């Protein structure tokens, strides 16, 4: 399974410093989106699904604190780190008041920043484990537990599913009896829609069909050119 890079939103108006910092973070295996001001920062924040925000305090139009407040309204949990040139006590206090997780005075050491980022993201990672998406499905005589990745027929021995099998069956189950568009699975699971990923998906459909043979009331139908349909009679 592919390692998922952590996503960082960096809002910094100084183009030189911002670019350098972005490159440095990307070199260290983070996925970085760089916004040049508070306004743009908020727009990008709404679109992306970030693990951490790094905000410059002093920016034209919308300063870091204001932006932080807006971000907090949308998301109470996401860690925020402020960058600031001046080491003003009032600023530090203000930062903590809007829920900062940390604070760095420029110029700061890049290794220290890296450590802080790591510490903060790890902290959050341990909290946010039990996010309750939908993990359990009944499909005819089958039970699908997509957190533990197994499929069981009528209380028999569980069939272990590979990550792709699991995700694909889960998507089909979410659309039970309805069309599950090819494109949806490809973009959600394979993150790319091309000839090869499409062939790959067909291979997985074949595998799922083999498993589902146990119950002849359950089948995966193809809708030519559209996608697949998990039907339960």
Among 89, 133, 155, 199, binds DNA (CB under 7 A): 199
Q: Residue 213 — φ and ψ, nearest 5°?
A: -60, -25
Q: For the CB of residue 31, give the shortest distance to DNA in the complex, in Å.
A: 17
> Could you tell which of a second copy, DNA, none binds residue 126, using a CB distance below 5 to 8 A set by kind?
a second copy
Q: Name 17's bridge partners.
A: none
> Could you tell which of a second copy, DNA, none binds residue 184, using a CB distance below 5 to 8 A set by kind?
a second copy
Nearer to a second copy, 147 or 210 (CB): 147
Report CA torsion sign: 92, 103, 64, 88: positive
Per CB under 7 A, 142 contacts DNA: no
3-state helix, strand, coil in the chain (%, to 5): 45, 25, 35
Task: Show the DSSP H helices in 98-216 as ranges.
Answer: 110-127, 163-174, 182-185, 195-212
Among 28, 37, 145, 198, binds DNA (CB under 7 A): 198
Indicate the SS3 state at residue 24.
helix
Residues that bind a second copy (CB under 8 A): 1, 89, 92-93, 96-97, 99-102, 109, 111-112, 115-116, 118-119, 122-123, 125-127, 129, 147-149, 162-163, 178-179, 181, 183-184, 187-188, 191-193, 223-226, 229
């Amino acid at each position: 399974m592919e390692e998922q890079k952590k996503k960082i939103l960096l809002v910094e108006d100084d183009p030189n410093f911002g670019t350098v910092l972005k490159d440095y973070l990307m070199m260290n295996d983070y996925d970085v989106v760089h916004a040049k001001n508070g306004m743009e920062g908020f727009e990008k924040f709404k679109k992306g699904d970030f693990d951490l925000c790094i905000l410059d305090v002093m920016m034209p139009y919308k300063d870091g604190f204001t932006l932080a407040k807006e971000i907090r309204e949308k998301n109470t949990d996401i860690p925020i780190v402020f960058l600031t040139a001046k080491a003003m006590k009032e600023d530090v206090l203000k930062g903590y008041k809007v829920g900062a997780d940390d604070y760095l005075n420029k110029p700061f050491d890049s290794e220290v920043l890296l450590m802080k980022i790591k510490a903060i993201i790890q902290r959050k990672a341990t909290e946010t484990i039990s996010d309750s998406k939908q993990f359990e499905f009944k499909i005819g005589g089958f039970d699908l537990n997509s957190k533990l990745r197994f499929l069981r027929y009528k209380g028999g021995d569980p069939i272990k599913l590979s990550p792709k099998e699991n995700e694909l069956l889960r998507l089909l189950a979410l659309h039970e009896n309805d069309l599950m568009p090819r494109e949806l699975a490809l973009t959600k699971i394979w993150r790319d829609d091309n000839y090869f990923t499409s062939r790959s998906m067909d291979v997985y459909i074949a595998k799922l069909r083999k498993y589902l043979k146990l119950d002849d009331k359950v089948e995966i139908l193809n809708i030519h050119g559209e996608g697949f349909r998990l039907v339960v009679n």
